[in-house]
Structure 1
Amino acid sequence: MPTFSDSNDRLTVLKKFGTDPGSLHADIYIPKNFAKNGPLVVVLHGSTQSAESYDHGSGWSTLADECGIALLYPEQRKTNNPLSSFNWFKSGDTERGGGEPLSIRHMIKQVVEDHAIDPSRVFITGLSSGGAMTSVMLATYPEVFAGGAIIAGLPYGSADNMMEAMVRMKGYGGPSDSKLDSLVRDASTFDGPWPTISVWHGGSDTTVNNANADSIVRQWQKIHKVEGPPTRVEEVDGFPRQVWCNDEGREVIEEYIIKGMGHGTPIMAEGDEGLGEEDRFMLEVGISSTRRIAHFWGLT
């Protein structure tokens, strides 16, 4: 496992990427064993976190070394948001063609070109505000991503301002089920094939109520044409995993509700397959969301 000082040295600045209308910072990590036409994972930190702290806690760069994955870490600036939260609820930052989503899109384009990434293997994940911004990116630029993983986040289009955002985080209100999928469909002109969706949430999360996890699942069920109960429920590392498969038998949505866990990213730091390190919002629960998400995407 890398020490904290090692982790701080792992990320390098992406100095140039398009017009950056959202005024974001970006770091990258390209492991030594990265091969041409390899995959890219975009990782969005949560509030009060940085790219480095999220990488250190989640263990993504350690897994990148193991599996030859390129990483892109968009990072919020405090001048945009005092808590370093991505602005997933502000109108200028929730639509295709402007703000933070376009900045992230430009970063991805730059890294794909610079490092010969396979454009069909670009994935995105995030925690909390980063999870909600993952929902934004999957809705506004679905053609860019093969898959997305939303950890303690919210569905796309659930809030238009800070006051609404606070209410939605508590699990109140929000778009009706009949509107959830149309919000995604109306965010671009894309018509599929749609990115696969992995949803993770703490069962005892008092910051972002886990009702939001179920709303995210419902938002994507109609789009993937997998409405109704899960295709199967299984146990992974002692936790229930619900899976929805399409008509071809492909897993298109998975959901983990981690019983007893609060607000944060589930990690398993110990053992042969351990990744990351426990910290605030990096919660040691005995399952590595990083490793399981990468497995769902076929990267491990």
Structure 2
Amino acid sequence: MKNPFAHGSLPPIPLPDLTEATRLTRSGRLGEATALIGRLLGRGQPEATPPFEPSPLTPPTIDGEAIEITPRPGGAPRPQAPPAGRGAFLALTHRGPAGTRDYKLFVPPGSGDSSLPLILMLHGCTQDPDDFAAGTGMNKLAEEAGCLVAYPRQPASANPSKCWNWFNDENQHRGQGEAALLAELTRAIIGERRVDPARVYVAGLSAGGAAAAILAVTYPDLFAAVGVHSGLACGAARDMASAFAAMRQGGATVRPAPSAIPAIVFHGDRDTTVHPGNGDSLVSQFTADRSGLRETSQTGRAPGGHGYRRTLHSAADGTVLCEQWTIQGGGHAWSGGQPAGSFTDPRGPDASAEMLRFFLAQCHPGLGAKAPC
């Protein structure tokens, strides 16, 4: 029988994995089931790719307006303490009522007394803050734009594969579990550093992307926008069995976001770890019940790299509520990432640059921004 959820010829997660997850869950062996999810989310490392070689490209357009797509070729060493005058990458620990987590914080040079934007970056399974920072290249972009970037660390004590536990119901509600812990950590940084509270954003990859979506849905008063790469919508799963089903099949029906938080979504159409249909579910979550949205799309190709489709969901006044990037031929990896990190695809387009561009155009409507957006 043909799988009704099949995405073209995309190989789904093998059915034996789903059966095994169900068996482990029913027998109460939740730790082993969690580890199995982590192994599957951590298996998507792409094969080595040839060096990135940019080639000429006519800029794509939407309704006649040129869109700048900026590739970021080459690699970077694993982050160490930056040289003097180039900012700082600090190793810190948050301790609060909701729990304790180590995190790394990039502070750009010359921040002085300015109130800066803050981006919370949530790594994927098997990763850590240094790896994620190296792979996304977000610190370099934040240095240029003048942003703080925080990278919480999920320890193996919380998940054997260091995944954020997005699939547990207790972590999908305001004031509970990992959602409460990450929100508390974010508020602590806002209180301790010079942060513009109207310009606080969250992004993540894979399990971290799913956790970012949960934070956007449960704490829309805290975050001005969300970026999800190769992740899943809030509510896509409630337990181990439904997590495997969502990863394998995609396209789950999820509840609408309670407020119109702007979202940018990236997903490779050849992702065999988290089904590409989950990208569509995320878009549905952040655009549902928003009447009068206008949808416009354009296609293009990163220089020397992947093709893509970029779709904008805009209000009548032109405000973009949701932006979706489908990477043609992309797998389970950060698009346009640096080879110094894991789960990256240097063939672009550059997800980090596009997320940052999208974020800095957003200010939280309920808070007074201290700088123009």
Q: If the length of structure 1 is used for normalisation, what is the TM-score? A: 0.86
The answer to whether the aligner puts 1:198 opposite 2:275 as a matched pair is no
Displacement of 1:198 after TM fit? Answer: 0.3
Instruction: Return the alpha-carbon distance in structure 1 between the equivalents of residues 221 and 194 of structure 2.
Output: 18
Distance in 2 (CA, whole Å) between partners of 1:2 and 1:199 is: 25
User: Number of residue pairs matched?
Assistant: 279
Q: 1:15 aligns with which of 81, 93, 100?
A: 93
Give 2:182's match in structure 1, choosing from 104, 107, 114.
104
Instruction: Read off the aligned partner of 1:128 and give its amino acid letter.
Output: S
Q: CA RMSD in A?
A: 2.2
Q: Is 1:262 the counterpart of 2:367 in the alignment? A: no
Q: Which amino acid aligns with 1:50?
A: D
* 8 Å CA contact 2:95, 2:101 repeated in 1: no
Partner of 2:353: 291
CA distance in 2, matches of 1:8, 1:136: 32
How far residue 34 of structure 1 moved from its aligned partner, in angstroms, is: 2.6
Retained in 1: the 8 A contact 2:137–2:352?
yes
Do the aligned partners of residues 263 and 239 (structure 1) sit closer, same or farther apart at CA in structure 2, a change above 3 Å counting?
same
What is the CA distance between 1:234 and its match in structure 2?
5.0
Over residues 104-134 of structure 1, what are the superposed CA-to-partner deviations in whole Å (9 max), with x where a residue is unaligned? 1111111111112010000110000000001
Helix, strand or coil: the match of 1:137? helix
Residue 9 of structure 2 corresponds to which residue in structure 1?
Answer: none
Aligned to 1:43: 121
**Which structure would you say has the larger Rg?**
2
Name the counterpart of 1:78.
156
Question: In structure 1, what residue type is equivalent to 2:287?
Answer: Q
Pairwise mapping of residues 1-300 of structure 1 onto structure 2 (< 5 A)? 2-4=76-78, 6=80, 11-21=89-99, 23-34=100-111, 36-172=114-250, 174-175=252-253, 180-181=255-256, 184-185=257-258, 192=259, 194-225=260-291, 230-233=295-298, 235=300, 237=302, 238-267=307-336, 276-298=338-360
Measure the CA separation in 2 of the matches of 1:108 and 1:91: 21
Q: Could you list the runs of 5+ residues in structure 2 that have no partner in the other structure?
A: 1-74, 362-372
* Equivalent residue letter for 2:352: T
More helix by share: 1
- The answer to whether the 8 Å contact 1:28/1:73 transfers is yes
Q: Which amino acid aligns with 2:255?
A: L
Task: Judge which range, 156-165 or 8-17, deviates more.
Answer: 8-17
CA contact (8 A) 2:120 2:149 kept: yes
| Contact preservation (8 Å) 1:59, 1:277 | no
Cα gap change, 1:133/1:63 in structure 2, threshold over 3 Å: closer, same or farther? same
1:265-288 per-position Cα deviation (integer Å, ceiling 9, x unaligned): 1015xxxxxxx3354311112321
Tell me the distance in 1 between the aligned counterparts of 2:211 and 2:143: 26
Q: Are residues 122 and 219 of structure 1, via their aligned partners in 2, closer, same or farther at CA, if it must alter by over 3 Å?
A: same
Rounded Cα–Cα distance in structure 2 between residues aligned with 1:203 and 1:71? 28
SS at match of 2:93: coil
8 Å Cα contact 1:126/1:133 also seen in 2: yes
Contact 1:134–1:150 (8 Å) recurs in 2: yes
Structure-1 separation of matches of 2:355 and 2:251: 29
- Cα 1:113–1:279 shift into 2, 3 Å: closer
Sequence identity percentage: 27
SS at match of 1:66: helix
Show CA shifts across 1:241-273 (max 9, x none): 1111112211111111101111011015xxxxx
Q: How much does 1:172 deviate?
A: 4.8
Q: State the distance in 1 between where 2:225 and 2:79 align.
A: 31
